[in-house]
Chain A
Amino acid sequence: MTPELTEAIKISLLVLLIVAAVAASVMKKLVPALIVFTSFSLIMALVWILLESPDLAITEAAVGAGVSGVLFYMALRRMGQMKKSFIEKDGADGSEKGENDENDRPDENGEDGEHDEDQR
């Protein structure tokens, strides 16, 4: 493998890494975001090989792509969010304009708290 080819592969992997990180951050549904995050770890393992660190590649492939993904899924399942996260949008996504109405509930509660305090 020529150095130029290695360099080109490395740069494309780094671009993919950024794309995967952004996608895991902005995706609306939770479970697809987790799948993208797992693929992020897998790309990371390939980058470790190109950085001449095979120890890190083995560990990242087993831990980042395997165990931590499994833990995320288990936690989601434990909370009964698995099906919901596939179908519905992530309700806590604050960057969405349309969902700000839903997020206004703390304000009402804040007013309630104010009211209670006035009564005291």
Chain B
Amino acid sequence: MGNLIYNYEEAVALILFSIGFVTLLFHRNMIRKLIGMNIMDSGIYLFLASMGYIYDRRAPIVEGGDTNPVNYINPVPASLVLTGIVVSVSVTAVMLSLAVRLYERYHTLNLDEIYAMSRRRSEHR
């Protein structure tokens, strides 16, 4: 299986992504779907950050004027993920407020029931 046994970190990241995907597919509760989406987010961040990690190297904070690049890990994935984490929480907030609005309208969190109710409502016309 190639480098699978060495790449356990990336494998875990993508397993997390798959768990989130399965949660999105198999649950019909909106809050569950949001949890799944957050797990997918975390999987992607873990994947990006583990791509930049190198053994026996330090975090990219210069100590004592030592600017030799072979002493530091890759700083680019960290800077990408840092903004991504904060943006993901705002996306979660927007989706939660949408869920709150849907709940106030239909008094349920189940997407199937919401779909059925909206269909019945449109056929009542």
Contact = CB atoms under 8 A, between A and B. Distances in A.
Direct A–B touching, Cβ under 8 Å? yes
Nearest to A120: B123
Contact of A18 (B15, B35, B73): B15
A46 interface: no
Nearest to B16: A21
Contacts of A39: none
Contact of B82 (A56, A94, A95): A56
A26 to B, nearest CB: 9
A60 B85 contact: yes
Contact of A68 (B12, B45, B89): B89
B1 interface: no
B16 A109 contact: no
Interface in B43-91: 45-46, 49-50, 53, 55-59, 73, 78, 81-82, 85-86, 89
B19 to A, nearest CB: 5
Interface string B79-119: 00110011001001100110110011000011111011001
B85 A56 contact: yes
Interface size on B, as a range, is 35 or more
A59 B86 contact: yes
B85 A63 contact: yes
Contact of B120 (A3, A30, A109): A109
Given A34-B35, A59-B86, A113 B59 contact: no
10 contacts: A14-B8, A37-B39, A56-B45, A63-B86, A68-B38, A79-B100, A81-B109, A92-B27, A95-B27, A106-B113
The 3 closest A-B pairs by CB, nearest first: A92-B29, A92-B110, A109-B116
